[in-house]
Amino acid sequence: MLRIKRVPTVVSNFQKDEAEEVAPRAGCGRNCLNECCYEGAKIPLYAFKKLNKISKGLCCEYENTAPPFAFLDSLLLGEWEDRMQRGLFRYDVTACETKVIPGKYGFIAQLNEGRHLKKRPTEFRVDKVLQPFDGNKFNFTKVGQEEILFRFEANENGNTQLIPNAPLDVENSPSMVAINVSPIEYGHVLLIPRIFERLPQRIDRESFLLALHMAAEAGNTYFRLGYNSLGAFATINHLHFQAYYLAVPFPIEKAPTKKTISLNDEVIVSKLLKYPVRGLVFEGENTLQALSNAVSDACICLQENNIPYNVLIADCGQRIFLLPQCYAEKQALGEVSAELLDTQVNPAVWEISGHMVLKRKKDYDEASEENAWRLLAEVSLSEERFQEVCALIFEVLDTVDVEGSPSVAEEHGDACLEEVEARNNASRPLRVTGTWECLV
């Protein structure tokens, strides 16, 4: 049994050390989402219209019309800022120093000394991706209702609408969007599918499609969703995705790719090139459903084969990065250098994508592309192991081999990277508010 000790991320103000966790009592007085408090609760409902068609190069369209109101700016960020004004966060993330590290890829460094305060190290098992849900440990039914921003569900009537004071429908197990009280970035939230089903941290088709719909509804390429499996630095075994807004491209989004397989002319799967972490990139050709099925089936394959992984959902849900990893396993086996361990960086989806969240001022001041590359190289599977994992995934997908077909990046070499870099290196802030440094 492989275990590592780490400080668990505090995502709710009601999260306690495991030793102190007890089952909630009737009338607990915390206004939580458990049976003791949810009777009569009303939470805003964002009922979205199911969008399925993918428009190449654009975010998913509302049949050539604009959505009734801006999801990201008017609702998610508005509600998030309301919770910030009410003092629900453990620290002000907008005051954290952030910079783009010089280099070809533009790794992003953030100094965030507040994420690990007031918690003691806890042991986490890292050799089992699938673990049963344990209601005695912290889960999202224990969060306070004030931490919930809104419910996020498909509208059976086919229209998009916001219902400000919708009664809580417990029997149909709504999906929730909540704040992360230890945010990495502006607008950092959690998407919790079917919260009352108390699902363990494992991908299924329905939940993954919900995450893609959220990316499509946001309609903003700077809004990404991420997923960490157990064994890949998820610390809460209750199904959830993370998401936040960052107004620069992630380095992984700039990396060139090579087309590898085609799935019934609906999904193209490519391999990452010239990036420290080996991974696959899924791109939809026609529908969100086909793309979602392909990625979720690949994730299920990894889960069933006990392979830890991370997922980044980018480009309004049209491009998805699937990244098997082994850093926690190496850490448990004592194969990670003391120098890297001392940084206390847990390379989950955001770090792997190139947003390095650093806990020490020394590491922030000395941040370099070389240091970021060295850390992420330890995350990656070896080439031999990566090929074995790809073979497992491709076996469960209905594939057409297109190995050898060059990607745009391969056809044009480093010029592709330079073009992307030039396009993105316009002087723009890293954040909407707070401390930031321009790219130029």
Catalytic residues: 240
Q: CA–CA separation, 351 vs 110, rounded Å? A: 10
C-alpha to C-alpha distance for 152 and 259, rounded to whole angstroms: 34
Alpha-carbon distance of 226 to 242, in angstroms, equals 5
Nearest to 350 by CA among 386, 321, 371, 308: 321
Whole-number Å distance between alpha carbons of 341 and 360 = 12
Distance CA 136, CA 123 (A): 16
Distance, CA of 328 to CA of 331 (rounded, Å)? 5
Residue pair 31/155 in contact (Cβ under 8 Å)? The answer is no
Evaluate the CA torsion angle 413, 414, 415, 417 in order and state its sign: positive
Single-letter amino acid code for the residue at 390: C
CA end-to-end distance (rounded Å), the chain? 48
Q: What is the C-alpha to C-alpha distance for residues 274 and 373, in angstroms, rounded to an integer?
A: 11
Give all strands of the β-sheet with 98-100 in edge-to-edge order: 98-100, 108-111, 355-358
The whole-angstrom separation of Cα 387 and Cα 122 is: 34
Rounded to the nearest 10 degrees, the angle between the axes of helix 288-304 and helix 383-396 is 120
Q: Token pair of 213, please?
A: 């719909």
Distance CA 116, CA 19 (A): 18
CA distances from 344 to 102, 247, 341 (A): 22, 26, 6
Helices (DSSP H) in 158-239: which residue ranges?
A: 205-218
For residue 6, list its beta bridge partners: 122
d(CA 76, CA 63) in angstroms, rounded, equals 23
Amino acid code (one letter) for 368: S
